[in-house]
Amino acid sequence: MSKKSRTPSLQERYRQLEQELVRLNTLLDSIGAYVFAKDLDGRYTYVNQLVCDLFGCPREEILGKDDSHFFSLEESDELKQNDHRVMNEGIVIATEERNVIKETGEVRYYQTVKSPLYDEQGKICGMYGVSTDITKRKKLELELAVKQELLDCIVNNIDAYLYLKDSDNQFLYVNPKAEALFQPSLDALTGTPPDQFSSELMKRIVASDDHVYASGEPMSEETECTLPNGTTRYFWSKKIPMKDASGKVTRLINLSTDITELATLRRQLKQQLESELLLRREKEKLAVTDPLTGVYNRHKINETLHYEVERAQRYALDLCVILIDIDFFKQVNDCYGHLVGDSVLIDFAKILQQHVRKTDVVGRWGGEEFIVICPETGLNGAMTLANNLRSCIELHNFPTVKQRTASFGVTCFHQEDTIAQFLHRADSALYRAKQKGRNRVEVQPNQL
């Protein structure tokens, strides 16, 4: 075979080039990026299928036209500037571009690489570019940036103390309000082992944060802390654990608000309520007690007597009363004066209160007369109590007047009794004790 026969014909070479061009176009149409070329006047000399799809027209309607036919250049100025730099300065530019599609007004973002094209003499004759659509990513980034800006605005201006820590108790973020409270800067706080915190505030924070790390549960608490400047403040804190995929707590968010004014107001209100309650109790006590001796007054005794009589009638219970009169008390007032007489009455009431049972009720009946109501007590029990009281009084050494005595009248409630009849019998028994010489205990005759 001759050498001439082995040389491909010009026609065959042309056909091979056409096939290569078809394969190249097919490749460029399928790479998933926008591929284009422009001349020095910015007119398209090549576009792949993605560019045609973007502009919404076939290739032949694009070639020979510049970007003003497809983009709103007044809103896509960086596109034109980048093209000029590539072709005028002969540099390669890799950057993001924001383009506005003229036909639809749609904003799209591209990651673009643009390079100059050279002719056979090495002169720049145009440019080519490869662009990847990053619109979705860019919109997400912009949305994230807006949200981050909003979050920064909130956390930097919120009237609360916010911080983020990792599981080693290291501060990852502290908002300005919290940083001012802690006094050390975030740089000083970051990386500092928790056991080296010297302030009471920081120690209490670490202790409560450790509890959240251990439990893995959110926690709310009110804390009283003394700040480094010596002032005491109250905080309401919400601590929220952040867990990884395995459920392990890796971070913690704390949000605290200063409730010092509220806590102070609450404490003042509590003190006021306690004072008012104490005052009311004092008033209630004054309403039912004898102001001199401190035992129940006649009004309260009558109320108690009605209650115990109804109980005795309803449940068939025993009930007794003891009427007591201080012997020759008038002589005390006449000889020593009413102040001494008052001190005798006070001591006398104390003796009764100290020696009755817990269930018994002591009251001042009037003047130097006292009464003891003995619920669920039979006559024998009441007589025993009366004799014990009589003995205690006789042995007591009263200031100024020394020994004094008293007379006792005892009676037991009958189911058919009225309260008046019940008390009348006690009064009769007391009169009998006086008639028989005083300093004794008497009971109605038919109850002996």
The set of catalytic residues is 368
- Give the pair of three-digit tokens for residue 390: 């009589």
Question: Which residues lie below 8 Å from residue 328, measured CB to CB, with a gap of 6+?
Answer: 404, 438
Contact 425, 320 (CB under 8 A): no
Q: In 10 A of CB 34, how many CB atoms?
A: 21
Tell me the chain's radius of gyration from C-alpha atoms: 52
- Give the C-alpha separation, 86 to 89, whole Å: 6
Residue 331 corresponds to which amino acid?
Answer: Q
Tokens linked to 302 = 């009558």
Structure tokens at 107: 């904003």
CA gap 58, 12 in Å, rounded: 30
Using CA atoms, how far apart are residues 383 and 374, in angstroms rounded to an integer? 11
Token pair for 424: 């009348």
- Torsion on CA atoms 437, 438, 441, 443, rounded to nearest 10: 70
Q: Where are the alpha helices (DSSP H) in 289-418?
A: 298-315, 329-336, 338-355, 379-395
- 12 vs 99: CA distance, rounded Å: 44
Kind of pairing, strands 44-47 and 361-366? Answer: unpaired
> 87: closest CA among 135, 123, 54, 45?
123
d(CA 348, CA 394): 11
The rounded Cα 348 to chain-centroid distance in angstroms is: 56
Any idea what DSSP says for residue 72? -
Cβ pair 428, 435 in contact under 8 A? no
User: Quick one: DSSP state of residue 194?
Assistant: G
